[in-house]
């Protein structure tokens, strides 16, 4: 994924346009580990939505596999997002009334290919991989926070995405559980050869990444040596 001089602005009714992202350039290669740290309101979620093909830049260039994203039809962009991007959120975003297997199988329900018919087997296999083989049929509401985040990781990986976007993945977990969830995320991303981008307030989580950035009032820069030393 390559972003060149990307901006995002919001047009407001009674005020000048709000510049949320300012001239962002970043290149994410297969297998990369990237962290982005920024204060509340610095534009992290906005950037994540652009990287995840949910929103479009206002200006600038963006490409995936050297294909310009701006020129894609919405339908093709949605298909690319479904097949190539996995999301993980702080609050897990699981469906409470469903079991672990049903939650993990959910992204395959709309896959439009043969994985639809194998979705429950694939979901069970993925749950085994994240250490939840004994919880396949448990309603997710009965699982601990760490277990729910493992289910969310399994769900984000079940379509073997090439880019995993994690927004504060350890934000709702204690330190030890967060550490084991990050280790799992690293390992599983490595297994499928995916790039992993983590957005976080937590310097310990950010430090795990090889490429570290900070986002400050919509400006993305490589994390400074001072910030890295302090972390
Ligand atoms: N649709 C919108 N309309 C108006 N303002 C918006 C809109 N979307 C985002 N903003 C503003 O843009 C800024 C960046 O928002 P964003 O959600 O990307 O920040 P963030 O870094 O993810 O914050 P947090 O860590 O608190 O979630 C914020 O000041 C937010 O209020």
CATH number (domain holding residue 224): 3.40.50.300
**Which uninterrupted H or E stretch holds 18?**
strand 18-27
Q: Which two tokens stand for residue 7?
A: 């901006």
Q: Model confidence at 173, in pLDDT bands (50, 70, 90)? A: confident
* Domain around 162: 29-58+77-230
Comparing CA positions, the residue from 89, 121, 84, 90 lying closest to residue 105 is: 121
130: left (phi over 0), alpha (psi -120 to 50) or beta: alpha
Q: pLDDT tens digits, residue range 8-67?
A: 999 988 889 999 999 999 999 999 999 999 998 999 999 999 999 999 999 999 999 999
Ligand 1 within 6 A of CB of 218: no
Q: What phi and psi values does residue 185 have, to the nearest 5 degrees?
A: -65, -45
Confidence (pLDDT) at 224: 67
Q: Is residue 9 part of a domain?
A: no
Ligand 1 within 6 A of CB of 41: yes
Total-model pTM: 0.89
Q: Is residue 215 part of a domain?
A: yes
Which residue has tokens 């040596």? 225
Q: Is residue 67 part of a domain?
A: no
Q: Is residue 222 part of a domain?
A: yes
Say if CB 80 and CB 54 are below 8 A apart. Answer: no
Q: Is residue 16 part of a domain?
A: no
CA angle 88, 133, 182 (to 5 degrees): 35
High-pLDDT (> 70) share of the chain, %: 97
Q: Model confidence at 227, in pLDDT bands (50, 70, 90)? A: low
To test the pocket of ligand 1, the residue of 43, 171, 215 to mutate (highest count of ligand atoms within 8 Å of its CB) is 43
Q: Is residue 174 part of a domain?
A: yes
Q: Is residue 20 part of a domain?
A: no
Ligand 1 within 6 A of CB of 42: yes
Q: Is residue 68 part of a domain?
A: no
Ligand 1 within 6 A of CB of 40: yes
Q: Given a cut of 90, is residue 215 above it in pLDDT?
A: yes
Which ligand 1 atom sits nearest the alpha carbon of residue 168? 25
Ligand 1 within 6 A of CB of 20: yes
Question: How many domains in the chain?
Answer: 1
- The complex scores an ipTM of 0.95
């Amino acid at each position: 994924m390559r972003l060149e001089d990307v901006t995002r602005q919001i047009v407001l009714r009674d005020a000048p346009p709000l510049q949320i992202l300012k001239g962002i350039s970043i290149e994410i290669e297969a297998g990369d580990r990237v962290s982005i740290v920024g204060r509340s309101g610095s534009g992290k979620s906005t950037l994540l939505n652009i990287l995840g093909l949910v929103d479009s830049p206002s200006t600038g260039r963006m490409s995936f596999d050297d294909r310009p994203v701006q020129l894609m039809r919405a339908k093709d962009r949605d298909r690319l997002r479904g097949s190539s991007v996995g999301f993980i959120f702080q609050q897990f975003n699981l469906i409470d009334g469903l079991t672990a297997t049903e939650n993990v199988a959910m992204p395959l329900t709309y896959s439009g290919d043969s994985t639809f018919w194998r979705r429950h087997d694939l979901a069970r296999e993925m749950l085994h991989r994240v250490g939840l083989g004994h919880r396949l049929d448990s309603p997710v509401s009965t699982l601990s926070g760490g277990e729910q985040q493992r289910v969310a990781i399994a769900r984000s990986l079940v379509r073997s995405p090439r880019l995993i976007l994690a927004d504060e993945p350890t934000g709702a977990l204690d330190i030890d559980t967060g550490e084991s969830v990050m280790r799992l995320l690293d390992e599983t991303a490595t297994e499928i050869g995916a790039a992993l981008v983590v957005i976080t307030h937590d310097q310990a989580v950010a430090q795990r990444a090889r490429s570290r950035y900070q986002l400050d009032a919509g400006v993305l820069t490589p994390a400074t040596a001072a910030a890295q030393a302090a972390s």
